[in-house]
Structure 1
Amino acid sequence: MTVQSLEKKIAVLASETDKAHAAMRELQSRYETVPPEDAEIIIALGGDGFMLHTLRDYVGSEKAIYGLNRGTIGFLMNEYRPDALGKRLAEAQTVKLHPLRMRTVTQNGDTIEAIAINEVSLFRETRQAARIDIRIDGVVRLHNLVCDGVMVATPAGSTAYNLSAHGPILPFGSGVLALTPISPFRPRRWRGALLPQNAKIEFEVIENRKRPVSAVADDTEVRDVVSVSIQQDRETGVKILFDPEHNLEERILKEQFTA
């Protein structure tokens, strides 16, 4: 089989599954590839988890990420088809995602930072419910939220865990973030809030040793946090490519009408 050259330099990355590695071998046998550091486009083979990992790795770079689904749901992925890859890349639509930056302070006084494409979540670590104060732009907006947890989700992440926790789906480009409680006990009627994308969100964990809480930025977990601050980084982003018929805006809109 003749190896085809493409208009733009591509690198192929795969998750650890056999299906993803088989797809990587197939693409590398058909198309000319380069190491990731030399590529203009990264082809990510796997599921949404691997796609999020790849997006975080290339935040702030000029490389575009084109996902091909070799996982399960693949909300952030395109359909895997090995044919006509050059044409698909040439016609793909570009969306720039801006990450959430999480800064935590732990019980030991350590400061740990991480970024998230989908959401930052706080979770209780023991049988006792968490107690959390919520401050928005320096103002306490909710005192003593008693809950299993709470999260901040981007539009790209609003159809993931946020939706399962009964949070709102956010259209891409809406300019807002979703603040969503997880199994709130008090106040009973509070179901979350929509916040401007430039808001600074701070969580203070009450009785943090008696009721320990962990903070998770996508899949990066920090245990035993005392405080967590979150803000979207509008100065940094990562480019993701979608086939025109399955672009991100259409997927998010369609999700709102799915039974």
Structure 2
Amino acid sequence: MSQSDLQIAFTASDRPEAQAACERLKGLYGGVDPAVADVIVALGGDGFMLETLHTNLERRTPVFGMNRGSVGFLMNDYEESGLRERLAMAGRAVIHPLQMDAWTEAGQVHSGLAINEVSLLRQTRQSAKLRISVDGRVRLDELACDGCMVATAAGSTAYNLSAHGPIIPLDAPILALTPISAFRPRRWRGALLPHTAKVRFEVLEPDKRPVSATADSFEVRRVAAVEVRERRDIALTMLFDAGRSFEERVLAEQFTA
């Protein structure tokens, strides 16, 4: 497909600078409905990139982000000129989301997809107590903590990194299991798991120590158990400027003071 034939959809977060940029780009390049686009240009921050990927789960159109927000690790630099050329030369990063199945204390089951991470967090001043199993085998009988998460490679530089979890190259078939403020065992720093692993969290003492579970922005309160696994059958594509690949950003992040 030639550059001139590329059908571009523009979407923007509700930030004024993102909305203004969206209108300028539509004036320069036109714009089509995301339902018929060859590529979606998302204007905002990393949160809006995740939102755009989630809303695009059925069509799975490639998304090229441009930073008009506060955080832009998943975004390209904002530049109005030469957009069609940038899109034609952009590199692709394919990511696979996590499936979260959460059972509440009331026995209800809620499911969601996470592009960055599935996280469990205490709901009150009491620390959470979790039992963690991997592929049906209990690996940690009791973790006293503020919470715990399973992060994808794409999400390893987000909440996972803030919780001192490892940065994972995008093409590594690995998931990060990372505790959040672990109290006991105090020295446990998490684990690297094969991407095929199924992780199960059981909430201990849920009446006294209620826990919520979140798949990106989808939250379930007062969970009793949560299972997490990778959905290899779902492939989402982010586009990055030539020479500014996601892999290069991940590598550079590990050498940032």
Q: Match for 1:51 among 49, 52, 55?
A: 49
TM-score of the superposed pair, with normalisation by structure 2 = 0.97
Q: Give the ranges of 4+ consecutive aligned residues of structure 1 lying more than 4 Å apart after TM superposition.
A: none
**Paired position in structure 1 for 2:191:** 193
Are 2:205 and 1:207 equivalent residues in the alignment?
A: yes
1:191-234: CA deviation from partner (whole Å, max 9, x where unpaired): 10000001000100001111000011111111100000000100
**Aligned counterpart in structure 1 of residue 123 of structure 2, from 103, 122, 125:** 125
Out of 127, 139, 146, the position equivalent to 1:141 is 139
Equivalent-residue separation in structure 1 for 2:126 and 2:156 (angstroms): 27
Tell me the amino acid that sits aligned with residue 103 of structure 1: D
> CA–CA distance in 2 between the matches of 1:108 and 1:81?
50
Preserved contact between residue 147 and residue 184 of structure 1 (Cα < 8 Å): yes
Distance (whole Å) between structure 2 residues aligned to residue 87 and residue 61 of structure 1:
23
The superposition leaves residues 32-66 of structure 1 with CA deviations (integer Å, 9 ceiling, x where unpaired) of 21111111101101000010011112124241101
Task: Measure, in 1, the Cα distance between the counterparts of 2:24 and 2:191.
Answer: 46
User: Can you give the 5+ residue segments of structure 1 that lack an aligned partner in the other structure?
Assistant: none
Corresponding residue number in structure 1 for 2:112: 114
TM-score, with structure 1 as normaliser: 0.96
Aligned-partner Cα distance in 1 for 2:243–2:168: 20
> Does the 8 Å contact 1:60/1:238 carry over to 2?
no
The amino acid that maps onto 1:147 is: C
Structure 2: unaligned runs, 5 residues or longer: none
**Alpha carbons 1:46, 1:70 under 8 Å: kept:** yes
- Contact 1:134–1:201 at 8 Å: present in 2 too? yes
Q: Output the CA distance in 1 between the equivalents of 2:60 and 2:105.
A: 37
Looking at structure 2, the residues matched to 65 and 171 of structure 1 have their Cα atoms a distance apart, in angstroms, of 20
- 1:60–1:237 CA contact under 8 A, matched in 2: no
**What is the CA RMSD across the aligned residues, in angstroms?**
1.0
Cα separation, 2, equivalents of 1:211 and 1:29:
54
Task: Identify the residue that residue 35 of structure 1 maps to in structure 2.
Answer: 33
Task: Name which of 227, 238, 241 aligns with 1:240.
Answer: 238
CA–CA distance in structure 1, aligned partners of residues 45 and 186 of structure 2: 36
Report which stretch shifted further, 100-109 or 54-63: 54-63
Corresponding residue number in structure 1 for 2:214:
216
> Aligned to 1:246, what secondary structure does the other structure show?
coil
Please name the residue that 1:171 is paired with: 169
Paired residue for 2:59, among 39, 58, 61?
61
Give the letter for the 1:247 counterpart.
S
State the alpha-carbon separation in 2 of the partners of residues 159 and 50 from structure 1.
16
SS at 1:249's partner residue?
A: helix
Check conservation: 1:102, 1:217, Cα contact below 8 A.
Answer: yes
Deviations for 1:177-201, whole angstroms, at most 9, x for unmatched residues?
1000000011111110000001000
Contact 2:35-2:59 within 8 A present in 1 as well: no
Cα separation, 1, equivalents of 2:132 and 2:18? 41
Quote the Cα distance in structure 2 between the aligned partners of 1:73 and 1:49.
Answer: 8
In the aligned structure 2, how far is the partner of 1:38 from the partner of 1:254? 36
For residues 120 and 91 of structure 1, the distance between their equivalents in structure 2, rounded to whole angstroms, comes to 33
Percent sequence identity over matched residues? 54
8 Å Cα contact 1:40-1:62 kept in structure 2 = no
Task: Specify the code of the residue in structure 1 equivalent to 2:110.
Answer: I
